[in-house]
Amino acid sequence: MSKTPTGYDVLHNARLNKSTAFTREERDQLGLRGLLPYRVNDTETQEIRALENIRRKGYDIERYIFLISLLERNQTLFFRLLINHTEELMPLIYTPTVGQACKEFAHIFRRPHGFYITPDDRGSVRKIMDNWPEDDVRIIVVTDGERILGLGDLGANGMGIPVGKLSLYVACAGIKPHQCMPVMLDTGTNNQELIDDPLYLGYPQKRLHGDKYDALVDEFVSAAFDRYPNALLQFEDFLTPNAYRLLGKYRDKILCFNDDIQGTAAVALAGVYASTRITGTDFSDIRIMFLGAGSAATGIGDLIFAALVDAGLSEEEARKRLWFNDRDGLVVAGRTDLMPHNQPYAHDHEQLGFIDALKTIKPHVLIGATGAPGTFTQEVIETMAAINERPVIFALSNPTSKAECTAEQAYQWSDGRAIFASGSPFDPVEFKGRQYRPGQGNNAYIFPGIGLGAIACQARTISDEMFLASAAALAAEITEDDLAAGALYPPLSSIREVSLRIAVDLAQKAYDQGLAGADRPGDLGKHIAAMMYVPEYQDLADV
């Protein structure tokens, strides 16, 4: 057992630091007398002080900086705050504020977080992987920064995304902080503004592409799983062609998934399931139209397709329920500009503009994943409301500034009949004497539970059936009270319970499919719950 740090060393160790919560005895034992103010605080008092500091800040980006600084100096208090005040703090540590944090990453940089790999590291990635101080990494979130949220190519500034995602893995699903590793695959940037910025911290060259890019990704994946064979790799915010290609290449070789394709799909499917409890539409009868045909939209389509087949439809019938529009109009057969992931949804139909497509197809559900704000215009919402008594509107683009429409617009333009969900949070809306609580279709409802379940059962891969089980588990957590308020998702305050249920159902499916490497415990729920990290100060004598 290594020697316990003392004095300034323990105060500057984020994992061990208790700050003003060190007891009199600990202060004597650890050489802290004289290094702390007199008063000994309990954690509740520390939370009050931290919240007071957060709330006095004038801007969300300042609140983000405070929270990241807290993570750097007192890990336990940071996660206690995030767990106990999830609804208030998640929008600060993740969407929408993380979008601004990524844009300004190099300008607000304080201390390094995560692991960076650049083209200069080719041939040495496995060697430098040993520089990471932890030996038991279970969750790796990697991005190359080329398509951060709806903000585009932010290069190495995109490190804010893996850091934020892994904070949610800890807070929402109880993954232990030391088991989390954020990775930036910094292959350069095509954002000239970043290259010209003297404060930019990333690799200041145009992006790698083709064989050189693939070789660096291959080297990283090989090195990561050589060092951490029990890890789950989450691909995050890759450009659509790379996202699909890398997922297809690795999903049956290593334990991995793409959150933009598969996580978004599961959370959207759960919302669609929930919407049928309000509209009365049988799921097997549903028609869905998408605005946007990138990785998020087609990922949702692929999982809903699988769910429709699971509900008893033929593959041909299921495809006909799903329609896509991109910037060039309706995705139809005969178009020569379609990518491979779009082609299964290219129906034999005349080309139509978006409004005419809505009027002709008459979808029950409209899903936006465009990254283009305001694309659900008043005409669009009114058209959906003319087609449906309760039109279902998903404006999923992140951050909030990129949403296809606001919650208030959806309710006003539909005369209060819309069932609305968004990717980033909107405040409750008062309309004609009724209060609506917009549902936030945040991937945080899904990916932490998927990660927890996968590592709990030592899954060898994550199958489509596991994502279907995860979506069904999330939908089952939505109460009648949630639906009565117009919300398609449960309150964020219940997210740890939601993650546990998802983890249990995913692991159960893995065992049923023979895809689990661990022995099945007698009580799966109790086994997984016991794994979940609870942020409590340690007795340093045990360290």
Q: What confidence tens digit (pLDDT) does each residue in 16-71 have?
A: 999 999 999 999 999 999 999 999 999 999 999 999 999 999 999 999 999 999 99
| Domain assignment of residue 363, yes or no | yes
pLDDT tens-place string over residues 234-289:
999 999 999 999 999 999 999 999 999 999 999 999 999 999 999 999 999 999 99
The catalytically annotated residue of 18, 64, 103, 165 is 165
Burial of 392 (0-12, 13-18, 19+ CB in 10 A): buried
pLDDT tens-place string over residues 191-238:
999 999 999 999 999 999 999 999 999 999 999 999 999 999 999 999
Res 4: pLDDT: 74
Nearest to 67 by CA among 38, 42, 91: 91
Tell me what the mean pLDDT of segment 443-461 comes to: 97
Asked if the peptide bond before residue 96 counts as cis, ω within 30 degrees of 0, the response is: yes
To the query of whether residue 362 is one of the catalytic residues in this protein, the response is no
Cα 416 to Cα 79: distance, rounded to the nearest angstrom: 38
Last residue of a domain, one of 445, 463, 490: 445
Grade residue 295 by pLDDT with cuts at 50, 70 and 90. Answer: confident
Strands 329-330 and 322-326 come out as antiparallel
Q: What is the CATH number of the domain that holds 11?
A: 1.20.1370.30
Single pTM value for the model: 0.94
Domain count, the chain: 2
Last residue of a domain, one of 397, 423, 445: 445
Tell me what the mean pLDDT of segment 163-182 comes to: 98
| Domain assignment of residue 220, yes or no | no
Res 242: pLDDT: 96
The catalytically annotated residue of 64, 94, 228, 345 is 94
Is it the case that residue 105 has pLDDT exceeding 50?
yes
Percent of the chain with pLDDT over 90: 93
Concatenated DSSP letters for 12-24?
T-TTT--GGG--H
| Domain assignment of residue 32, yes or no | yes
To the query of whether residue 103 is one of the catalytic residues in this protein, the response is no
Is it the case that residue 543 has pLDDT exceeding 70?
no
Tell me what the mean pLDDT of segment 424-439 comes to: 93
Is it the case that residue 364 has pLDDT exceeding 50?
yes
Tell me what the mean pLDDT of segment 105-120 comes to: 96
Res 541: pLDDT: 63
Is it the case that residue 1 has pLDDT exceeding 50?
no
Res 542: pLDDT: 58
Residue 350, C-beta contacts closer than 8 angstroms, at least 6 positions apart: 332
| Domain assignment of residue 213, yes or no | no
Res 326: pLDDT: 92
| Domain assignment of residue 194, yes or no | no
Q: What is the CATH number of the domain that holds 324?
A: 3.40.50.720
| Domain assignment of residue 274, yes or no | yes
| Domain assignment of residue 210, yes or no | no
Average pLDDT, the chain: 96
The domain containing residue 76 runs over which residues? 7-93
Residue 531, C-beta contacts closer than 8 angstroms, at least 6 positions apart: 174, 452, 456
Last residue of a domain, one of 73, 93, 113: 93
Listed ranges 194-198, 420-424, 438-442; the one with the highest mean pLDDT? 194-198
| Domain assignment of residue 177, yes or no | no
